[in-house]
Amino acid sequence: MTIIEVRDLVCRYGTRTILDGVSFDIHQGDVVTILGGSGCGKSTLLKHLIGLIEPASGSIHIGGDEFVGAQSDTRQRILRRIGVMYQSGALFGSMSVLDNVRLPLDTFSGLSPDAIELIARLKLRLVGLEDFADLYPAELSGGMQKRAAIARAMALEPQILFLDEPSAGLDPVTSAGLDALIRRLAESQGMTFVVVTHELASIQNIADYAIMLDRSVQGIIATGTPAELAGHPDPIVSGFFLRKAED
131 counts as binding other proteins under rule CB under 8 A: yes
CB of 168 to other proteins, least distance (A): 16
CB of 53 to other proteins, least distance (A): 23
65 touches 74 (CB < 8 A)? yes
Amino acid letter at 176?
A
Among 42, 48, 81, 123, binds other proteins (CB under 8 A): 123
Nearer to other proteins, 139 or 228 (CB): 139
CB of 94 to other proteins, least distance (A): 4
- C-alpha to C-alpha distances, 116 to 2, 109, 148, nearest whole angstrom: 31, 8, 16
- C-alpha to C-alpha distances, 84 to 76, 78, 87, 192, nearest whole angstrom: 14, 13, 10, 12
The window from 25-33, 116-124, 198-206, 207-215 that contacts other proteins (CB under 8 A) reads 116-124
Nearer to other proteins, 77 or 244 (CB): 77
Q: How crowded is residue 34: how many other Cβ atoms within 10 Å of its Cβ?
A: 27
The sign of the torsion formed by the CA atoms of 179, 184, 162, 100 equals negative
What does the binding site for other proteins look like in residue numbers (CB under 8 A)? 93-94, 109-112, 115, 117-119, 121-123, 125-126, 130-131, 133-134, 136-138, 154, 156-157, 184, 187-190
